[in-house]
Structure formats: structure tokens, C-alpha cells
Chain A
């Protein structure tokens, strides 16, 4: 899977999202539940929460400003421990290097733990070209993979858009599963099937939550324990990291890990935080014999030094996604990228270009909820606004979706006569679509709005008429 998901245009994707009732219910309750859990272990529990955010922010900003130094230190220390480091400017470079390792090791059976950057560089497609069996071992990603490579809709809970009955059907069809749709039984089936895959794998591939420059280590954060099995059993391990995912020492690592787990899943720490350094040591029995670290730029350096640099502070916790009112309505697939929500609306156009993703910065109400929760203080809604400015400057106009919308609303409001006629007619014209004081089935420009929420119905008496009568002393 590449960064881009789906083939439809933005508007079609949004339409699909708005018509998917299960998904919308699931997203709404997930947002509520996850936000509640997040608040319990952040603002509620830690009275000095702002200090934590300030500290996380200062760490991330310092690292970005000195990124070349820390990456050099990291690579030296990985090599000292016998690991191999490859710096990949582009996704093609990364894939070619990994291809060469696969060929050299004659690897055929590959297990992976969840990694956004490997999705971003379309690693699985290359591995399949090489004739390898690639198994995603995070439960959510495994479900999507079994279901003919369905796309993820959330960066922490990738199969959020699927219900357990759909998952049971996928397991029945692909694994011959005969039990019920109880999550415990489904998860047990995944445990049994994947245990075999872990044991027979000849190559393990992981992402990287935070690399530690001082020691050449890196950490993996999971709840399922799949990353431990990916890295303990296969003889060769490849870890792929976005170049900005690095901290100076263990002491900064612990701060960012704490911020990640609290904000992503409302846990003080997840079940497994695994800190790995190099390949296995002499006489060790488990752990890889050979370790490769692939450090990926793929457009990130173009973001450095510019107005969007702060987006590279991101630790991929999805707190912004969990509070976004637009994501709540349209769901993850609407963004057409593996990075959805506010962070995706900022990052995706930077990595994938405006030609493909110019609508995304408009998928926001600019309410600022994302900026308020971000644990590393990325000014997300300001960056969305910045994108809009640049898109308008570049194109000389706003993207079609917004232009049409503005035109539709603007036409009626711009001319006093038209507005008068329009607002006089509105109560009558809209009657069939009104229930009580809300319009729940809009037409024309209102359709897009009312698919997501109700619109207040026009008053039976217009403000202008009311004001005129009031002037005359009627009321």
C-alpha cells in the first residue's frame, strides 16, 4: 500500500464515508471513548500537563534543529554494535536496499509489525514482486490484509471502520474460521495462525517509534507483543524509520514514549515498550543475527527549514484525529491517505504534493481542537490555514470543492434582491426537508452540510420583516 489509498476523487470519498453508517457510528464512539481515556491520564491526572507538552515540544524542536548531528551519532552507534545503516533519500532508494537484503538472505517468509513509514514507501508491493509472503502481525492490520488489502482508516486503530461480524466473515472466508464474532475468539484465531508465521519467518520488518542517538537503540511501542516476536525469532531484521523519529538519549525517549501512550490509547504505558540495540549479542539465542536500519527521507527534508517544519514534531499518537469534528463525520478513508485527520491534512500534501491532495487542507473547520490536544504542540490548524494560503497563491483560486460551495452560498447572499427572494422563498421551498426547527435532508449546497449534521431551518418570519415590524412598533 502506498501513502495514497483508494482511487476515487475527494468528494466521492467523502460521500462514501458519509453513507457508511456503521463506520460513522464506530468513529463517533471511538473518538468519545479514546478522548475520555486520554483526558483521564493527561489533563485530569497530571496537574502540570502543559509542562509535559512544553517539554515534549522543546525536545522535538531541538532534535529537528540538530537532526544531522543526531542521525550521524545514531548511525555510528548502530554500526559499532554490528548493525548496518542505509540512508534512503527516496522511497525507491529504500525499497532497492531492502530488496537487495531480501535477495541476499533469500528471504521468502516475512513478518512485519505495524509501521506507517513502510506503508508510505509501498514496501509490501516490492516484497510481493520479489515473491515473498508478507504478513502484517498487528491484529488490525492483519484483518485489513486478509480482507484483500483493505485500507486503514486510523493510524492507531487501522480497522476501526470494520465491525466484528465483517471480521468474522473475512476470517471464515480466508482462514476457514468457524467460531463466533466474539472479539476474544477472533483474536485467539489470529494468535494461533500468526504464531506459526512468527516461528517460520526468515525476515522480520519493523518501524521505529523513537531511535536513541546516544546508544544506537530504537524503541517499539505495542500492546499485542507482536513487535517482540517479529524481532526475536527471524534471523534477519530490517527496521525502517522516518528520519525525524529520533531523540538524544533514553531520558528523552521516555518522555516521548509516555506522551505517545497516554495520548494514543490513554495508557500510562502500553503492554510492551521494547528497546532494541543492534543484532543479538554473541551467545544470545534469540534476536536477529543481522540487523539493518533504513533511515528514510522521502520528502521530509523539503519540509525542514520551512514554514511547515513543526509538522515533523509529530509522534503519531492520533490525538488530533480523535478530536477532529470533520474526521468524525467523514472517517479515515475520505482523506485518501494512510495519514488521515488533521495531521494527515497537513502532512499528506507535503509528502504527496498539492496536485493530488489540495482538498485536504479544506477538510477542517479550523476549530483548533487538534492544536489544543497535540502533545508536541504542533500548531495544526494554523498549518492548515497556511496550506490554504499557498494553494490559493499557487492555483490563483481555491480548489473546486470549496469554490463551488462558496459560489453556491455566495450567489444568494451577494445580491440583496436575490437574497430577499431567496430568504422569502426558503421556508416554503425547504418545508419538505424540514423536521421541527432543523433541516436534516438538504438539497443543493446544503446537501453536503446536512449529510453530516442538521442545519437550522429558516425562521417562518424573516429577520428583515421582523425588524421592519419592530420599527413600526408592532412588537
Chain B
């Protein structure tokens, strides 16, 4: 359904008027900017080097980071969930969990140890939010990972609820090593490419950098405000 637009012409005419020219009616080409410093940051840096930059940044953003290969992944995920105090765990509905060999852990081992797992299921409606709200751990997957700032990028869709990454008390983000890029610049270029190819943008694209925090009380940093109190990144080497 197309939405409504009200009072536009009068409003935009006033702007054109103040700028002392008629309304612009022909689409404007995106300018060739004179300055482009953003592409120089970590230019020609290898994936291994980007990983080292990410690890260093994680110290600043109060985030634990582990690296593992696929064989070691279930063990690392289990260790972090255990350290965070166990379930309930909530995840997206995403076939990559299964492809990466997490089924035995998530679907057999955890239930056997009374660690409840809930997989996002849009057919259940608001029940999903209730589950996310009561979960101890939320597990998501980074589509693009920014080394400079230590940021994971999550795209929402019907199987990937927004709230999985911010309602549970703690958060685990799985990071395929190949998703590492120097900085937010490359993510913005990629987002634009996706839009130009598909004509579509996810309704929520979230750049998340560690756990939530605030310095609003006497500028003291408090980690864990409205979003997760703790966050861990797990980088998967052979992806």
C-alpha cells in the first residue's frame, strides 16, 4: 500500500523560493565529490589483518571475541552460552545454523540439558517477542563486519526478527571471516548495490557495536542499558 503525502508543494516551493530559484524538477545526478578520504582507511588490508584490527577494537567496545573453525564452532557457542548462564536461547530461523553444524548442539544437546531454544517463527506472531524478551541469550549472524569500529551488521526479515539482537540479556554474534571489511564505507556501498539490484531495502538494518551502554550519569560508562548487557563475537575462520 502506498502511503500519503501531505502539504508537500507549498513546503517545497517555500524552500525553492528562499533559495531564489524555481523548484528542481529534473533528477540530480549524485555529485562527484571532491574529497573521498573514506576509501583510504585500511586500504589493501588482508582479511587476516582486518581480523587483528577487529580483535583490538573489541577490547575498546567491551566485547569478547573468539575465533574458531567450523569443527570447533559448536564447542565455542556452547561455552559462551554456559558462561552467560545457559538458556533460554533465541535464534533467527536461518539455515546457516544447520549448515555450520550447529544442529546437534542446538536441537539435541541443549534440550537434553534443559537449555530451552526458541527459533523465530513468524507464524506465531507476538509470541516471538515474548520469547525474545524472556531469553537469556540471543544468537544472530553478521552479514557485513566492520573491522575499524568492531561492528556487526544485521538485516531484518520475516525470519530474522529485529528484537533477537536487543531484547535478550546477552548477545552472541556469529561472524563469517569473509564478511570482514575495513569500515562502514564498504557496508554503505554494499547496501546501495543491494538496493540498486533488487529495488529493496530491509526494513531494519542494524549496525551493532558491542553491548549497549550509557555515560549519562556523571559521564561514567555503564555497560548494559536497554539492549544486551554483554556481547560476544565468534569469528568463523573457514567461511
A interface list, Cβ under 8 A from B: 26, 29-30, 33-34, 46, 48, 51-52, 54-55, 58-59, 62, 65-69, 71-73, 75-76, 78-89, 93, 97, 137-140, 143, 157-160, 163-164, 167, 183-184, 186-188, 190-191, 194-195, 198-199, 214-215, 217, 223-226, 228-229, 231-233, 243, 248-251, 253-255, 257-258, 265, 267-287, 291, 295, 297, 301-302, 304-306
Contacts and interface: CB of A to CB of B under 8 A. Distances in A.
Interface in B103-162: 120, 122, 124-126, 128-129, 133, 146, 148-151, 156-158, 161-162
A277 B31 contact: no
Contacts of B150: 268
Interface residues of B, number: 90
Nearest to A254: B188
Interface string B1-30: 111111110111111101110011001101
A271 B158 CA distance: 24
Contacts of A306: 18
B28 A69 contact: yes
Contacts of B86: none
A285 B128 contact: yes
A194 B226 contact: yes
A73 B27 CA distance: 9
A94 to B, nearest CB: 11
B5 A75 contact: yes
Contacts, number: 302
Given A52-B37, A225-B225, A271-B209, A286 B11 contact: no
Given A164-B218, A195-B226, A225 B212 contact: yes
Nearest to A158: B216
B129 to A, nearest CB: 6
Contact of A68 (B12, B128, B207): B12
Interface in B176-231: 183-185, 187-189, 191-192, 195, 201-220, 222, 224-228
A224 B203 contact: no
B211 A271 contact: yes
A26 B219 CA distance: 9
A223 B218 contact: no
A272 B2 contact: no
B217 A159 contact: yes
A89 B11 contact: yes
A223 B8 contact: no
A274 B225 contact: no
B43 interface: no
Given A46-B41, A159-B216, A198-B226, 6 more contacts: A30-B219, A55-B37, A79-B5, A140-B214, A229-B166, A295-B11
A140 B15 contact: no
A271 B122 contact: no
B83 interface: no
Contact of A71 (B15, B133, B188, B195): B15
Closest 9 interchain pairs by CB?
Answer: A225-B227, A140-B216, A87-B11, A283-B158, A273-B207, A55-B35, A268-B149, A225-B212, A254-B188
Contact of B203 (A160, A190, A191, A276): A276
B195 A215 contact: yes
A274 B19 contact: no
A248 B30 contact: yes
B122 A284 contact: yes
Nearest to B195: A215
B34 A274 contact: no
B212 A75 contact: no
A297 B14 contact: yes
B191 A250 contact: yes
Interface in B29-45: 30-31, 33-38, 40-41
A193 B104 CA distance: 38
B163 interface: yes
B233 to A, nearest CB: 13
Contacts of B208: 271-272
A51 B129 contact: no
A191 B150 CA distance: 25
B162 A232 contact: yes
B47 interface: no
Given A271-B210, A285-B126, A58 B6 contact: no
A462 to B, nearest CB: 47
A301 B205 contact: no
Nearest to B192: A250
A191 B31 CA distance: 44
A464 to B, nearest CB: 49
B57 interface: yes
A286 B126 CA distance: 8
Contacts of B126: 285
Contacts of A67: 15, 19
Contacts of B151: 269, 273
A302 B225 contact: no
A305 B18 contact: yes
